[in-house]
Amino acid sequence: MGDVEELNNEQKEAVLHTDGPLLVVAGAGAGKTRVITYRIKHLIDSGIRPENILAITFTNKAAREMRERVEKLLGAGGTLPTVGTFHSLGANICRAHARALGRTKYFTILDRDESIGLIKEAMRSANVDEKRFEPKKILGAISRAKGDGFSLSEYKAEAGNEFYPKLVAGIWEKYQALVNKAKAFDFDDLLLETVKLLKREPEILKNYQDLFKYILIDEYQDTNTVQYDLARLLAGEKKNLCVVGDVDQSIYSWRGADFENLLRFEQDFPGAKVVLLEENYRSTQTILTAANQVISKNKKRHEKNLFTKNNEGEQISLIANLSELAEADFVASEAKKLIANGEVASNVAVLYRANFQSRVLEEAMLRHNVAYQVLGTRFFERKEVKDVMAYLKAALNDEDYASLARASGTPARGIGKVTLAKIAAGEKDSLPSAMKQKVGELFSTLGQIKLALETKIASEVIKSILMLSGLESSLKKGSEDDLERLENLRELVTLATKYDYLPAPDGILALLEEVALASEQDSLNEKKDGVKLMTVHAAKGLEFNDVFITGLEQDLFPHVGFGESDRDEEEERRLFYVAITRARKKVYLCYAQTRALYGARQVTVPSEFIFDISDDLLEASEHHLNNLPNGGKSYLPDIFF
């Protein structure tokens, strides 16, 4: 296992290159993770110490899979290199140098919901109407600015007197004050503060450059400015930086990713070795030919042509449906047939461009009695899991009043907003004696949890919280839903066991970090069989035997966006390319001839992307509703019959 002779010539070339910058342009399904993991093994076999190797990717799921593959290659028991996400690396550096950043090592990492809560508080403080300016969009603008490397003062200077940027700057100032008061960092601070620290403290930077002598970065086309800066800072003068990526799969410009970082790599690192991986191990040649035809229209890319030694495969099915209801009906009935013919349900995926499309697809799955899972409902977003996390955060960080407020109300203790405001203002002593007792009991509980945190392994800490907080006894006495919540909390104990090898409190800090940095793909870790429903964005990095791509209509896919000027045609085409290349065996392209949007039914035009694929690769058919009362006529105006 792990013999370099198992690789093709191009993969071998990338693996055996040791010193100096290396760019690996890896097409979809071309074995890039294999190249990264084999390269790590080759470096270690060449005498490089594992602790001197850093491998970075973007999601917890990808990092976990990479770590498992590296461990399998190296064999159990040895030292492993550092394998993680950009944000987990940032969190570790921030914790190691917390004092220099004005924090303790127990700082809170705010998840997205907590950040939005503070944005709303900042907006109220600034007298900005939430109905007129959406808090999520305000947070998005701040997040994008931080990802572009802007500090608040730089952003304010850039904003000048322009209305919206000036508004965002004012809210950002109040939001950041709240974040600082809670002794917390938000998701973007983990990287921005890390980069600022390394630029400000040459000695700290040199320590990390000496530690991480060899750096490997996956999905380099998805890096934003701050991630790009962090990679270049750590690579230093040695420039032992290997980046793997594919411009054709760059689909995150709206969150600040800049694929030019990949295109510019050879300028940034003159003399860099470049290896092109074009052999695909996933899909049939029919699927790859279609993907090549689609993406060849884009101008900003590395020229490449995917091929495979797999068989030619089936034609791509193109299905015209009368409406979105007929489309959903076709998808569910066809998925049911695939499963009846022996396909595993979880190997079937239904992809859509916009989240709203999932509703009719879910209804059709229920109607046809097809088990399904919608990607994006994350385990860590469940209320009961967030409640336990609130106890953890409040026990670790006595400035985190948002977590304290949540913990105080679950289970209910009769501690209201006025009392919490007095606690936050340091006026605990002015409380009435009965309330003082309730508050005292809460703080005593948090003190016991803190003791557990400092002395027990991670899973035992979670068990302690369930008992000490009263959550376990409260849920045991509750409804069927409450008992299900208790099951979820017991699952959290199981999840925490993977950190039991770490000493206290490091195991719990690692768990908190995983929770805060979870992505929607992490919901796939829940053992749930069924057809997978998800947006194309969420499908990035995944693969399935059979893939339905739905809503292939002009203005839906490609999407016109909602005043989002950064959604360009090339990115939409890349997104379609990503959708097609998720499939191993069969692709279904589906569109509706009419679709209800915003309450009104509109006649649609098939997506231009369909016409990028040559006719000989397609088999076309039509589908009408066959499974709804009255043939579905009650769902459509008479004009369509």
Tell me the pLDDT tens digit for each residue of 315-348.
Answer: 999 999 999 999 999 999 999 999 999 999 999 9
- Sheet with 22-26: strands ordered across: 82-85, 53-57, 214-217, 241-245, 22-26, 273-277
User: What's the first-to-final CA gap in the chain, in angstroms?
Assistant: 62
Beta strands in 95-140 (DSSP E): 108-109
**Cβ neighbours around 279 below 10 Å, total:** 17
Tell me the pLDDT tens digit for each residue of 478-507.
Answer: 887 788 788 888 888 888 888 999 999 999
Name the percent of the chain lying above pLDDT 70: 94
Nearest to 554 by CA among 571, 532, 535, 569: 569
C-alpha neighbours within 13 Å on the C-beta side of residue 56 = 25
How far is Cα 552 from Cα 606, in angstroms, rounded to an integer? 6
* 508 band by pLDDT with thresholds 50, 70 and 90: very high
pLDDT at 254: 81
Tell which wins on pLDDT, 633 or 271.
271
How far is Cα 575 from Cα 306, in angstroms, rounded to an integer? 17
* 30 band by pLDDT with thresholds 50, 70 and 90: very high
**Which residues are identified as catalytic?**
32-33, 218-219, 249, 582
pLDDT at 406: 94
Is the pLDDT score of 133 beyond 80? yes
Angle subtended by helix axes 417-424 and 401-408, to nearest 10: 150
